[in-house]
Structure 1
């Protein structure tokens, strides 16, 4: 973490282990990140004005769910484990949507691809800043699934149910520019200039932050997303997992192998 007192900005960057996906170990780190920030600013909540989350993995924001874990639980017919994984994810997502119960504007800084659950998590931030050319999408439909940990709920509230379904079911990837046209990405940055674009946004908001924060709070009141809704969808997702065919699982495992090849890529320097 890097605390910038002058602007009240806490800069944080994910440093995933092995592959850049949300495995159980990384989910524990994510929960600790949230709880740690709440503790850090307890009693001085107004000091934190902006919370930025990026990634140190070159070319990747996050590839989302732990497909290797999913395949193992599906082959074992372990619905309970699938549901527990999903519930852990949506609890983290919901806490993020509620800005950790702090009076802060949250910013997702995407300097690399955000796919599946990585895209879902990015949607839980107030502001999304993305570098041109990076990819967003939900590949789950390619192996008979859907992103079951917030994507539909968040996208439908932003762009409507029909467009959300089209995006989820297509399995296509979309550029940052396309996401900007839809209003999902709020600010486009040139490649390699995401941090500078974030600093520029924060500086520009210097006299507008109070109004911006209030607007985001109002949005959560006008169109709330209850945790119960997310948890019910996790149940639907888990049931869908158990209906996957052998072919679907083999494709899922091939995607895991492709992700594993990213392990040889060194993490970016601090």
Structure 2
């Protein structure tokens, strides 16, 4: 977790009851930091999803409280070295699909959409901007999370992509909505159907990554961005508001797509579930390798 040192040397973690999310508040620069730390794998567990929503609520209350120091930026990052987030809980998916449990699949999809939608709409606070800082691989729902930030900063060499098509599914919690708005729907569909893992450099060229920086410089890049934007913050916020009028992100759209995802998940066959299980094993191996400090690439 070397990339956390820049934060830890200057800030103390906030006191809360979170078990899979570590938060900091930089009062001087008006930045709220949240580092995901899900267990046993860095995916979107139910606990992590709830804690992100709770944290967003705390930040929103701080913004609204005139007696609190201002918050102008929220940064969603990862405490796992080499991994931003591996996406949905594939073990849970497989169990619910095998049990034909449509109700709980829907509940999980809704739980995933809630923090993503809040992040994309900057917590419904017009003067707040959300930043996602990708310092490790962002796969599936992890990439959807990264795309939900108003600004996506990524370190060179990190991998991003949607492997869901490898087990005959698609990313149903915002991929088409968010990626389509950034790079165009035709290109987004090609990315999703490829199942390929793209480098941050490739995603920068496509237009999905807003700021590309060298490995290990992610936190500094956040502060560099903030300083640069300070000179044009009023215009930048107004431009974002205009874009949100011309390209709105509707909660109903996300929920209806999630229903399509649930129906598609329940049509998966045993061979598709076996591939899902293989990906879980590979991702687990990736986590173990990342924790040991070695390098590994997840492939199809």
- Normalized against structure 2, the TM-score is what? 0.85
- Name the stretch that deviates more: 57-66 or 11-20: 11-20
| Cα distance in 1 between the residues matched to 2:159 and 2:88 | 16
Per-residue CA distance 1:90-120 (angstroms, 9 max, x = gap): 1221111111112211111100011100001
Q: Do the aligned partners of 1:18 and 1:263 also contact (CA within 8 Å) in 2?
A: no
Q: Report the Cα offset of residue 248 of structure 1.
A: 0.7
| Cα distance in 2 between the residues matched to 1:104 and 1:50 | 6
| Cα distance in 2 between the residues matched to 1:173 and 1:252 | 16
| Cα distance in 1 between the residues matched to 2:84 and 2:48 | 14
Q: Report the Cα offset of residue 46 of structure 1.
A: 8.3
How many residues are aligned here?
268
Equivalent of 2:284 in 251, 256, 260: 260
Match of 2:64 in 1: 42
Match of 2:55 in 1: 33
Gaps of 5+ in 2: 1-22, 294-300
Q: Do the aligned partners of 1:56 and 1:267 also contact (CA within 8 Å) in 2?
A: no
Match of 1:181 in 2: 205
Match of 2:145 in 1: 121
Rate the CA distance shift 1:263–1:31 in 2: closer, same or farther, 3 A: farther
- Counterparts of 1:106-255 in structure 2, within 5 Å, are 106-255=130-279
Match of 2:109 in 1: 86
User: Does residue 39 of structure 2 align to residue 2 of structure 1?
Assistant: no
Per-residue CA distance 1:51-79 (angstroms, 9 max, x = gap): 11111100011111010000000000111
- Normalized against structure 1, the TM-score is what? 0.94
Q: Report the Cα offset of residue 264 of structure 1.
A: 7.5
Q: Do the aligned partners of 2:59 and 2:71 also contact (CA within 8 Å) in 1?
A: no
| Cα distance in 2 between the residues matched to 1:21 and 1:135 | 15
Gaps of 5+ in 1: none
| Cα distance in 2 between the residues matched to 1:114 and 1:26 | 16
Cα-Cα RMSD: 1.8
SS of 1:47's partner is: coil
| Cα distance in 1 between the residues matched to 2:79 and 2:204 | 23
- Name the stretch that deviates more: 150-159 or 63-72: 150-159
Q: Report the Cα offset of residue 252 of structure 1.
A: 0.6
| Cα distance in 2 between the residues matched to 1:221 and 1:65 | 30
Q: Report the Cα offset of residue 267 of structure 1.
A: 10
- Name the stretch that deviates more: 208-217 or 254-263: 254-263
Q: Do the aligned partners of 2:36 and 2:48 also contact (CA within 8 Å) in 1?
A: no
